[in-house]
Amino acid sequence: MKQPQSDEEKIAEIRMCTQRMADDKARILELIPQVFPEKRGEPKVRGRLNEVVEASGWTREYVARIRDGKVKSS
């Protein structure tokens, strides 16, 4: 059985998880515009916005802002 973690170990784990979440969000913000063919000069794909909304769990408005370059990674 694993020994209980100290408060310091838990805080360190929180820091590590927070950084991982920030890294994951930055990667998602990078990927979203890439999956819209019209951003590559190709024909639009019907329903793509809905697919990305479903995959990300974010609102249509937020995903559209990311797609349009109005949201930048921090």
Q: What is the rounded end-to-end Cα distance, in angstroms, of the chain?
A: 40
Name the band, by pLDDT with cuts 50, 70 and 90, for residue 42. very high
Mean pLDDT of 10-30: 96
Would you state the structure tokens that stand for residue 58, as one six-digit string? 């974010």
pLDDT at 3: 73
Q: From residue 3, how far is each of 6, 10, 16 by CA, in Å?
A: 9, 12, 20
pLDDT at 62: 98
